[in-house]
Amino acid sequence: MNQSTERKPAHTASPAGASQWLTLPHCKRVLVVVHTEVYGKRLHDILPLLESDLRVQVEFTIAPHAFNAGAARAVPTRHGGLIPWETAVRGRYDLVIAAGSQGLHLLDGPLLRLPHGAGHIKLSRPDDDRDPGSPRTVGGLGRRYLMRDGRVVPAALALAHRDDLDSLRRHCPEALPVAEVVGDSSYDLLKAGLRGRARIRAALGLRRGQKLVVVSSTWGAGSSFNRLDALLPRLLAELDADAFRIAVIVHPNVWSGHGDWQVRSWLSTARRHGIAVVPPQADWRAPLIAADWLIGDHGSVTLYGTLARVPILLARFPSHDVNPDSPTAELARVAPALSAAHRLPEQLAYARATYPADDYARIARQLSSEPGRFGRNLRKVMYRLLSLGEPAHPAVLPPPPLPAPLWGTAQGEVSA
């Protein structure tokens, strides 16, 4: 990949055909690379920073990945602008934006890499066939993610917190010169969304006085999904159905790895009894903002719960798969663990009564060292790589739209 920003404009090719057929043939070409639904949803946050600029043409491609299924749901275009991967690797771009790493060395254009979750939580898998036998490293920050053939692939590596520079220094110091601390889009959007909590709860279908318990699961063998068959019946049996609502957020990689039909089938009994299953394409931030309790694991949603100021109970925590220096590891030291020996109403009451506000606030501060400034900081990086002056208006991330209702449908689930 040519990392230099001193390059000829990449307007010699277009998914719509030769440039002679285009109305704006000399736009800077930006390629957004979607590997998975999770990565695509994170990239969707930044697209407003490129809106309304007639100097810029944004195109999309879906890169090869084990969790490709569902990735198309995260691509916000259906009629033009979606380039086959085989075509993308033959093109030339003024900026490439991605939240993953696979295949990016094949693309021609300066790459901006973003994190796809919170806090660089997980360690690389010990059986990762991309680099067999190598020691485990922090996901997204090791050499296997950032280097190819002895060189750093990204032209800019966006980080959420300045503490991430220390992790990068340990795991891939070669990438330090391209690192940019910009903040975290989900941090900023969650923080802003909390001000509209009442409206979000009403949009989800919660009645006044009802309490919402959100159950969140990341993917993998150590996730809480492995215990939902025991947890969900307990929630139904032990919580007053009139006073409580229950919503389940399942990581899109579970839907992708096992298939939409299979996940819905596994959760069908819970859905018939009124538990809402948040669709993988929905914005997980809305139910988190609305939650009165969060039962989670080592996934990003649980960690963002510290920012949402919601009492947390940990259902699973596979410490051997977690970065010991991450804020999630710290969360596991202060959050109460779900017990099989005590009734759930008592445990929810305990989690609320012993809510460690100072600890959670400290952990939440580790998610972004640039609170409220993600849009401003990232747009500056993007336009620098594009060799363009920024638009003459503040860089603002618009709030997500109000969510579709989770209750009021036949099976407690928004239609896909």
Q: What is the 3-state secondary structure (H, E, C) of the chain?
A: CCCCCCCCCCCCCCCCCCHHHCCCCCCEEEEEEECCHHHHHHHHCCHHHHCCCCCEEEEEEECCCCCCCCHHHHCCCCCCCEECHHHHCCCECCEEEECCCCCHHHCECCEEECCCCCCCCEECCCCCCCCCCCCCCECCCCHHHHEECCEECCCEEEECCCCHHHHHHHHCHHHHHHEEECCCHHHHHHHHHHHHHHHHHHHHCCCCCCEEEEEEECCCCCCHHHHHHHHHHHHHHHCCCCCEEEEEEECHHHHHHHCHHHHHHHCHHHHHCCCEEECCCCCCHHHHHHCCEEEECCCHHHHHCCCCCCCEEECCCCHHHECCCCHHHHHHHHCCECCCCCCHHHHHHHHHHCCCHHHHHHHHHCCCCCCCCHHHHHHHHHHHHHCCCCCCCCCCCCCCCCCCCCCCCCCCCCCC
Mean pLDDT over each residue of the chain, to the nearest integer:
90
Q: Is residue 295 within 8 Å of residue 234, measured between CB atoms?
A: no
| pLDDT of amino acid 4 | 42
Residues 157 and 220 in one domain: no
Angstrom distance (rounded) from CA 313 to CA 316: 9
pLDDT of residue 77: 83
**pLDDT above 70 (res 174):** yes
Cα–Cα separations (whole angstroms), residue 395 to 373, 381, 384, 414? 9, 12, 14, 32
Q: Does residue 408 belong to any structural domain of this protein?
A: no
Residue 190 above 70 pLDDT? yes
Q: Is-contact 139 122, C-beta < 8 A? A: yes
Residue 413 lies inside a defined structural domain of this protein: no
Q: Are 303 and 328 in contact (CB under 8 A)?
A: yes
| pLDDT tens-digit readout, 345-404 | 999 999 999 999 999 999 999 999 999 999 999 999 999 999 999 999 999 999 989 999
**Domain containing residue 163:** 19-186+368-386
User: Contact at 8 Å (CB) between 351 and 313?
Assistant: yes
Q: Specify the pLDDT at position 22.
A: 82
Are both 336 and 374 inside the same structural domain?
no
CB atoms within 10 A of CB 222: 18
154 & 204 share domain: no
Least confident of 42-56, 113-127, 266-280, 286-300: 113-127
Confirm whether 317 is domain-assigned: yes
314 and 252 co-located in one domain = yes
**Can you give the pLDDT at residue 134?**
66
Domain count, the chain: 2
Higher pLDDT, residue 141 or 276: 276
pLDDT band at 5 (very low <50, low <70, confident <90, very high): very low
Indicate if 182 and 230 belong to the same structural domain. Answer: no
Identify whether the C-beta of residue 94 lies closer than 8 Å to the C-beta of residue 138: no
In a domain, 398, yes or no: no
Q: Are 95 and 387 in contact (CB under 8 A)?
A: no
Are both 136 and 240 inside the same structural domain?
A: no
Please name the amino acid found at residue 365.
R
Is residue 352 located within the same domain as residue 373? no
Contact 258, 414 (CB under 8 A): no
Q: Is residue 5 a part of any domain in this protein?
A: no
Q: What is the CATH number of the domain that holds 138?
A: 3.40.50
- Specify whether 302 is located in the same domain as 233: yes
Confidence of residue 16 (pLDDT cuts 50, 70, 90): very low
Closest CA to 249 of 221, 291, 209, 208: 291
Average pLDDT value for residue range 127-139: 64
> What pLDDT sits at residue 121?
74
Tell me phi and psi for residue 159, to 5 degrees.
-125, 150
Whether 28 and 166 map to the same domain: the answer is: yes
Query: What is the C-alpha separation between 165 and 148, in angstroms, rounded?
Result: 20
Identity of residue 273: H
**Are 177 and 208 contained in the same domain?**
no
Q: Is the pLDDT confidence value at 148 over 50? A: yes
User: At 242, which CATH number?
Assistant: 3.40.50.2000
Residue 7 falls within a domain, yes or no? Answer: no
Name the more confident of 292 and 124.
292
Q: For position 10, what pLDDT does the model report?
A: 54
The pLDDT value recorded for residue 50 is: 97
Same domain, 182 and 206: no
- Residue 399, domain member (yes or no): no
Beta carbons of 103 and 113 less than 8 angstroms apart:
no
Over residues 74-119, the pLDDT tens digits come to 998 877 789 999 999 999 999 999 999 999 999 999 999 999 888 6
Percent of the chain exceeding pLDDT 90 equals 77
How does residue 70 score in pLDDT terms, banded at 50, 70 and 90? confident
As a whole number of angstroms, the distance between CA 77 and CA 82 comes to 7
Q: Is residue 271 part of a domain?
A: yes
254 in the same domain as 161:
no
How far, in Å, CA of 246 to CA of 231, rounded? 11
